[in-house]
């Protein structure tokens, strides 16, 4: 049995939404981007977090690495609660918790060459010798499929796939234990996606990494993940191993996601389409997160949220209709 690296308990992240009513005296409403989320990531595994846009996947990832501090709950990393740490304490763990962004190009200084950008990361983390920094950067570029030639290029001279390789190289330079990958292949061609995913799987094995892979693409999640958490409206609705999820899904939302995978043998009119749109989860939201779009919704689903529980060994879900 693997050892737990990261454990999230009742994580909650709130953003101001709008003023309901008229003028400056209306009621201030707030949106729960993540609401009472609990999950674990084990050492050496790839945990896939899947769900449609706006469900809180990226917010969860950003909370883990400290970019969007949680409003309540706890994030236990090797037993240390990151939510209770001060900035100075958190700074010492920055190298162990890294993130690869969807648009890595936006994180690169367009005035600096690739070598200078990567060397700056090492300089911040205490590598003072310039020769040593260059040696480590060149070795890392080779690991991610880039060459010494790219060391002297500017960011705009790289292709989309090369930019993502560079983002992964920057995350790996600090020898992290956990990398949060926030949709790193969603903007790439399918052939380049496969290259990046295969590279991540190879590097995970070589370096003993743990990955949290965030995506709305269920096919990509299936390819790279050991376990999958299905997220909807700020909370998990199902969690189990990859094989079990695709062979025996329990939650209606998970079944809808799987049914949306294109099948060339199904006629267009037979596709299962999820009706309605994802509602906004305000602080006074009640009931099951999925009830407004669920074909099996009961009266209790509108009033009381189902408990996220273990239905079968290693298989959790939150739904009143599972047994039926």
> How high is the pLDDT of residue 28?
75
> How high is the pLDDT of residue 18?
66
CA distance 254 to 245: 8
> How high is the pLDDT of residue 88?
85
CA distance 245 to 229: 9
> How high is the pLDDT of residue 105?
87
Alpha carbon separation from 48 to 106, 223, 238, 316 (Å, rounded): 24, 10, 12, 15
CA distance 9 to 217: 26
CATH number of 4-96+174-262+270-317: 3.40.50.300
Beta strands in the chain (DSSP E): 4-20, 27-42, 46-50, 72-77, 80-81, 97-100, 178-182, 210-215, 227-232, 235-241, 309-312, 315-317
Tokens 């070795």 belong to which residue? 139
Annotated domain spans of the chain: 4-96+174-262+270-317
Residues of the chain with pLDDT under 70: 1, 18-27, 263-273, 324
Phi, psi of 35 (to 5 degrees): -135, 110
> How high is the pLDDT of residue 282?
86
With a CB cutoff of 8 Å and minimum separation 6, the contacts of 126 are none
Sheet containing strand 27-42, edge to edge, reads: 27-42, 4-20, 72-77, 80-81
Give the pLDDT confidence of 209-234 residue by residue, as tens digits.
999 999 999 999 999 999 999 999 99
> How high is the pLDDT of residue 103?
86
> How high is the pLDDT of residue 169?
96
> How high is the pLDDT of residue 266?
54
């Amino acid at each position: 049995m693997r050892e737990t690296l990261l454990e999230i308990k009742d994580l909650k992240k709130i953003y101001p939404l709008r003023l309901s009513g008229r003028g400056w005296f209306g009621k201030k409403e707030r949106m729960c981007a993540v609401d009472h989320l609990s999950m674990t990531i084990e050492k050496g595994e790839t945990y896939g977090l899947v769900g449609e846009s706006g469900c809180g996947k990226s917010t969860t990832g950003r909370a883990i690495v400290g970019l969007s501090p949680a409003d309540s709950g706890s994030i236990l990393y090797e037993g240390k609660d990151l939510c209770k740490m001060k900035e100075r304490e958190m700074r010492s763990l920055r190298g162990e918790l890294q993130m690869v962004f969807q648009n890595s190009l936006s994180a690169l200084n367009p005035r600096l060459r690739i070598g200078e950008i990567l060397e700056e990361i090492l300089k911040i983390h205490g590598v003072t010798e310039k020769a040593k920094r260059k040696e480590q950067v060149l070795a890392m570029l080779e690991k991610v499929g880039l060459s010494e030639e790219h060391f002297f290029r500017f960011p705009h001279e790289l292709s989309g796939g090369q930019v993502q390789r560079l983002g992964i190289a920057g995350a790996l330079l600090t020898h992290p234990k956990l990398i949060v990958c926030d949709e790193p292949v969603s903007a790439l061609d399918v052939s380049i996606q496969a290259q990046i995913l295969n590279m991540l799987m190879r590097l995970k094995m070589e370096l003993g990494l743990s990955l949290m892979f965030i995506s709305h693409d269920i096919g990509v999640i299936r390819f790279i993940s050991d376990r999958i958490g299905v997220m909807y409206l700020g909370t998990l609705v199902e969690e189990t191993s990859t094989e079990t999820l695709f062979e025996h899904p329990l939650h209606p939302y998970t079944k809808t996601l799987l049914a949306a995978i294109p099948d060339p043998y199904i006629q267009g009119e037979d596709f299962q389409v999820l009706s309605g749109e994802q509602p906004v989860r305000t602080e006074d939201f009640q009931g099951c997160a999925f009830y407004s779009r669920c074909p099996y919704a009961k009266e209790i689903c509108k009033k009381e949220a189902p408990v996220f529980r273990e239905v079968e060994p290693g298989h959790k879900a939150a739904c009143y209709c599972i047994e039926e």
